[in-house]
């Protein structure tokens, strides 16, 4: 690999670091991902399996330029993409047209089809691995978990510790079970990602990754039309098919998926443009002006108004009645569909939440954090130190399991170094405006009796 200089740290996660780099000779900008090896002996295996990625070139795939091993780490040089991930777009909570989202996933399906034709699968499709460039071009990135699949699949090729890899919120049931996977597993993950983009949350949620893996195997997701009644039925049905628990019930190839997405995109565009113009405009767009007869002449040379005949009057009344009926039926059909979805959504929420909320979720979360803080203080007094994890409070009967989850069913986080209890709030993402934090020392000062 040519010499380069690091310009900027773009991301640091458990999976590794991503740097923006510049090659010394050409001055070209690229991205460098540095990953820890699962085990030192896996270097040769991973390099041999990953060489096929170097030949993968497509407009909707972030190309990999070089793969090497250095000092027990894998170095992957990739195209630098100026843009943002779908995860970033979701976090902004901007309302984008359904047609825009469908177009994004049409591009994703096109990129995955190109990989499939080279016997490659991704195995970690999720919002953070799909980027939208400033030019609107979508690219799938982070193919480092992909593996060649032929014949019996991956089971014989992969080391035992690598059977289950991916992100639980988007993994297919067979992937969660550690079974052989193929492109239909990526179709499931793509459907789960589309669900998250449209619903604002993943299709399934749980307190722990292991619990989420179990849910992915058998638990059904809530249909999209129940989450958002505005989502078109055909789009909701398509996501359901992509996420069928039975692999044979999903789309069996990307060509069929693309054929299903294209008319949905056109339908969304048609509805969105019709909504902008209004119903009356859409009704009059195709109307043609009726030919006007030449005006007659009265005595004296002045033009006379033609006398309306009974037939013309009746025809006009019938036409007006027909147009009125069409308008009424069109509005009524949409109203019935909207009411049906709204009612279904209310019923679903009544079933899942039988008891009405007695307080604001943030207030309930704050109260639970105070309860945890009180337990931490008691633990410190009795043991001489802070607990290493919140699970210690649970194992020693300071708290119950329900106390360790916020109002959005996400586990509280414990920052022992700063003695803080954290909740990422309703969006589940860190460092956003809805985060909640409680400092143990400040809480102790407020609750300690004053001398």
Q: What is the pLDDT of residue 293?
A: 43
Q: How confident is the model at residue 404 (pLDDT cuts 50, 70, 90)?
A: confident
Beta bridge partners of residue 63, listed in sequence order: none
DSSP state, residue 186: H
Q: How confident is the model at residue 299 (pLDDT cuts 50, 70, 90)?
A: very low
What value does the mean pLDDT take over residues 410-425?
89
CB-CB contact of 221 with 203 (8 Å): yes
Q: How confident is the model at residue 367 (pLDDT cuts 50, 70, 90)?
A: confident
Alpha-carbon gap, residue 53 to 57, rounded angstroms: 9
Q: How confident is the model at residue 279 (pLDDT cuts 50, 70, 90)?
A: very low
Q: What percent of the chain has pLDDT over 90?
A: 27
Dump pLDDT digits (tens) for 88-118.
999 887 788 999 999 999 999 999 999 998 8
Domains, the chain, ordered by start: 1-80 (3.30.200.20), 83-154+164-279+338-353 (1.10.510.10), 361-447 (3.30.700.10)
Alpha-carbon gap, residue 348 to 95, rounded angstroms: 24
Q: What is the pLDDT of residue 355?
A: 40
CB-CB contact of 37 with 15 (8 Å): no
Q: What is the pLDDT of residue 229?
A: 87
CB-CB contact of 172 with 188 (8 Å): yes
Q: What is the pLDDT of residue 390?
A: 87
CB-CB contact of 250 with 192 (8 Å): no
Dump pLDDT digits (tens) for 115-140.
998 888 888 999 999 999 988 999 99
Q: What residue has token string 């767009």?
A: 285
Alpha-carbon gap, residue 216 to 122, rounded angstroms: 18
Q: How confident is the model at residue 220 (pLDDT cuts 50, 70, 90)?
A: very high
Alpha-carbon gap, residue 201 to 195, rounded angstroms: 8
Q: Is the pLDDT of residue 377 over 70?
A: yes
Q: What is the pLDDT of residue 435?
A: 85
Alpha-carbon gap, residue 258 to 7, rounded angstroms: 39
Q: Is the pLDDT of residue 42 over 80?
A: no
Q: Is the pLDDT of residue 389 over 60?
A: yes
Q: What is the pLDDT of residue 148?
A: 42
Lowest mean pLDDT among 153-157, 199-203, 385-389: 153-157
Residue among 279, 271, 204, 205 at smallest CA distance from 234: 271
Alpha-carbon gap, residue 65 to 33, rounded angstroms: 11
Q: What is the pLDDT of residue 74?
A: 81
For residue 259, give the H/E element and its range. helix 254-277
What value does the mean pLDDT take over residues 252-271?
94
Task: Tell me if residue 201 falls in helix, strand or coil.
Answer: coil
Q: How confident is the model at residue 60 (pLDDT cuts 50, 70, 90)?
A: very high
User: Higher model confidence: residue 21 or residue 445?
Assistant: 21
Q: How confident is the model at residue 278 (pLDDT cuts 50, 70, 90)?
A: very low
Q: What is the pLDDT of residue 75?
A: 85
Alpha-carbon gap, residue 77 to 29, rounded angstroms: 10
Highest mean pLDDT among 99-103, 174-178, 333-337, 350-354: 99-103
CB neighbourhood size of 31 (10 A): 20
Highest mean pLDDT among 131-135, 255-259, 398-402: 255-259
Dump pLDDT digits (tens) for 147-193.
544 333 333 334 443 445 678 899 999 999 888 889 999 999 999 99
Alpha-carbon gap, residue 218 to 187, rounded angstroms: 17
Q: What is the pLDDT of residue 332?
A: 54
What value does the mean pLDDT take over residues 392-415?
82
The predicted model scores a pTM of: 0.59
Dump pLDDT digits (tens) for 303-328.
444 445 565 666 667 666 666 665 45
Q: What is the pLDDT of residue 324?
A: 61
Q: Is the pLDDT of residue 250 over 80?
A: yes
Q: In which region does residue 262 sit, left (phi positive, over 0), alpha (psi from -120 to 50) or beta (all else)?
A: alpha
Q: How confident is the model at residue 401 (pLDDT cuts 50, 70, 90)?
A: confident
Dump pLDDT digits (tens) for 62-82.
888 888 877 778 888 888 888
Lowest mean pLDDT among 90-104, 230-244, 391-405: 391-405
Using CA atoms in the order 152, 158, 159, 163, what is the torsion angle rounded to 10 degrees?
-80
Work out whether strand 138-140 and strand 130-133 pair parallel, antiparallel, or are unpaired: antiparallel
CB neighbourhood size of 277 (10 A): 12
- Residues 6 or more apart whose CB falls under 8 angstroms from that of 14 comprise none
Mean pLDDT for the chain overall: 77
Alpha-carbon gap, residue 155 to 173, rounded angstroms: 16
Q: Is the pLDDT of residue 447 over 80?
A: no
Alpha-carbon gap, residue 203 to 328, rounded angstroms: 36
Using CA atoms in the order 422, 426, 427, 433, what is the torsion angle rounded to 10 degrees?
-60
Residue among 64, 192, 247 at smallest CA distance from 139: 64
Q: Is the pLDDT of residue 8 over 60?
A: yes
């Amino acid at each position: 690999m040519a010499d380069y200089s690091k310009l900027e740290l773009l991301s640091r996660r458990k999976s590794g670091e991503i740097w923006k780099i510049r090659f010394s000779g050409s001055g070209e900008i690229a991205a460098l991902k540095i990953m820890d090896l699962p085990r030192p002996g896996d270097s040769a295996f991973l390099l041999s399996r990953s060489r096929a990625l170097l030949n993968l070139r497509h407009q909707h795939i972030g190309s990999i330029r070089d793969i090497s091993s250095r000092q027990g780490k894998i170095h992957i040089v990739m195209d630098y993409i100026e843009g943002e991930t779908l995860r970033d777009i979701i976090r902004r909570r901007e309302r984008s047209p359904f047609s825009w989202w469908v177009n994004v996933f049409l591009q994703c399906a096109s990129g995955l089809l190109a990989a499939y034709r080279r016997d490659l699968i991704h195995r970690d499709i999720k919002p953070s691995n799909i980027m939208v460039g400033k030019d609107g071009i979508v690219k799938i990135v982070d193919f480092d978990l992909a593996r060649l699949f032929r014949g019996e699949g991956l089971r014989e090729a992969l080391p035992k510790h690598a059977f289950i890899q991916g992100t639980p919120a988007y993994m297919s049931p067979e992937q969660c079970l550690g079974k052989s996977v193929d492109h239909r597993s990526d179709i499931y993950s793509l459907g789960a990602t589309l669900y998250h983009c449209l619903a604002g949350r993943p299709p399934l949620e749980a307190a722990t990754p292991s619990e989420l893996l179990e849910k992915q195997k058998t638990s059904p997701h809530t249909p999209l039309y129940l989450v958002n009644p505005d989502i078109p039925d055909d789009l909701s049905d398509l996501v359901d098919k992509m996420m069928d628990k039975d692999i044979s019930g999903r789309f069996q190839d990307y060509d069929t998926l693309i054929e299903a997405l294209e008319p949905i995109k056109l339908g969304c565009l048609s509805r969105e443009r019709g909504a902008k113009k209004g119903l009356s405009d859409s009704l009059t767009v195709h109307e043609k002006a009726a030919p006007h007869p030449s005006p007659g002449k009265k005595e004296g040379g002045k033009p006379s108004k033609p006398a309306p005949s009974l037939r013309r009057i009746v025809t006009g009344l019938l036409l007006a009645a027909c147009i009125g009926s069409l308008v009424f039926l069109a509005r009524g059909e949409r109203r019935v569909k909207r009411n049906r979805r709204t009612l279904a959504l209310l019923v679903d929420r009544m079933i899942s939440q039988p008891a009405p909320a007695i307080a604001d979720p943030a207030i309930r979360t704050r109260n639970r954090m105070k309860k945890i803080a009180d337990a931490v203080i008691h633990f410190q007094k009795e043991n001489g130190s802070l607990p290493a994890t919140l699970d210690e409070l649970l194992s020693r009967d300071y708290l119950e399991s329900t106390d360790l989850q916020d109002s959005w069913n996400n586990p509280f986080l414990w920052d022992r170094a700063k003695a803080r209890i954290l909740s990422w709030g309703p969006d589940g993402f860190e460092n956003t405006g809805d985060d909640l934090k409680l400092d143990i020392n400040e809480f102790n000062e407020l609750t300690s009796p004053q001398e």
